[in-house]
Structure 1
Amino acid sequence: MTEAVVVAAEEAEVVGLAHGGAFRLLVDGDATAGTPGANRLTLPAGADGARPHRHERSAELFHVLGGRLEFLLGERSVTVGEGGLVVVPPGLVHAFGAAPGTGADVLVVMAPGVERFDYFRHLGRVSMGLEPAESLLPEQGRYDVHFVAGTRWAELRGRGA
């Protein structure tokens, strides 16, 4: 990459989610030669963002632009409000969602970036019931999103085991 990447707000593709949230796809790893990739995620009050997973190659940065975001970071639970920041290193199991009673608006940056826009599009289809969640499993290595079974996140979110 030798040129700056500029994405105007109106140029960002929006992938809607069934619960009313959305991904705004800002920049993918292929556009930045594998440096960062970024998206903006909005979630309605209490909505899940991602179930427990880890990344083998990338760190993930979350900057909460509005509302509050609840995280599972390994076995630790934290809630981060507007202006807060969380950096998840490669290999750490994590999950996140809007805190109960509030929505969340978050900028998510992955570095190094991988091509993940198709992953977010796929998540949108899963959310709308157009594809089963299991259809993501064969794509884990491609998108560096490796799902992890566990009940801690469900317990934290009040959904039991």
Structure 2
Amino acid sequence: MKAIPSALVVAPGESAGAALTDGAFELLADGGAVSASRLTLTTGADGAPPHHHKLSHELFYVLGGTMLFRLGETLTTVGKGGLVVVPPGLPHVFGAAEGESADVFVVLSPGVERFGYFEQLAAISRGKAEFTSLLPEQNRYDVHFEDLPDWRALPSR
């Protein structure tokens, strides 16, 4: 007899979190079919460093505020209710738009166990670890870093 799969249910308060210098991160699902998280950013704060994924699509749904995304060579602003889907291989970076805070739901599919990655980012944001500590972990977390030092400077289209 074939086993019936079970559903994942995460009740309020059951998720894992990490405090960031410029916001907070809440991991709702880690690995499997999806990795899902909620990221809140203070006014004008950057999210993750510029990167791409080799294996996963990344979906962003803006719950509140306004996000700024660099998607390859395109800079775009997305407000509450907006959706962005980034395919594997596309360099991207994101943050709260200038003068705005942001609240965003993020899904990576297929999922990759990433809580260790976000814990390390939190430690880096608080000055307790160096960014270079993530470099050997790029394949493990399917986060491959890009060199875009002034990513917000690209002219909007």
Give the Cα separation in 2 of the matches to 1:14 and 1:138.
23
Kept in 2, the 8 Å contact 1:48–1:96? The answer is yes
Match of 2:113 among 112, 115, 138: 115
1:151 Cα deviation after fit: 4.1
Structure 2: gaps (5+ residues): none
Q: Flag structure 1 segments of 5+ consecutive residues without an equivalent.
A: none
Counterpart among 6, 21, 46 of residue 3 in structure 1: 6
Q: How much has 1:85 moved relative to structure 2?
A: 0.2
Asked if 1 retains the 8 angstrom alpha-carbon contact of 2:114 and 2:141, the reply is: yes
Matching residue of 1:22: 24
The percentage of aligned residue pairs carrying the same residue is 58
- Runs (4+) of structure 1 exceeding 4 A deviation are none
Contact 1:75/1:152 (8 A) holds in 2: no
- Please tell me whether the aligned partners of residues 28 and 38 of structure 1 are also in contact (alpha carbons under 8 angstroms): yes
TM-score by length of 1: 0.91
Partners of 1:18 and 1:122 in 2: CA distance? 12
The DSSP-based 3-state class of the residue aligned with 1:38 is strand
2:74, 2:154 within 8 Å by CA — same for their partners in 1? no
2:132 to 131, 134, 137: 134
What is the match of residue 12 of structure 1?
A: 15
Structure 2: how far apart are the matches of 1:88 and 1:112?
13
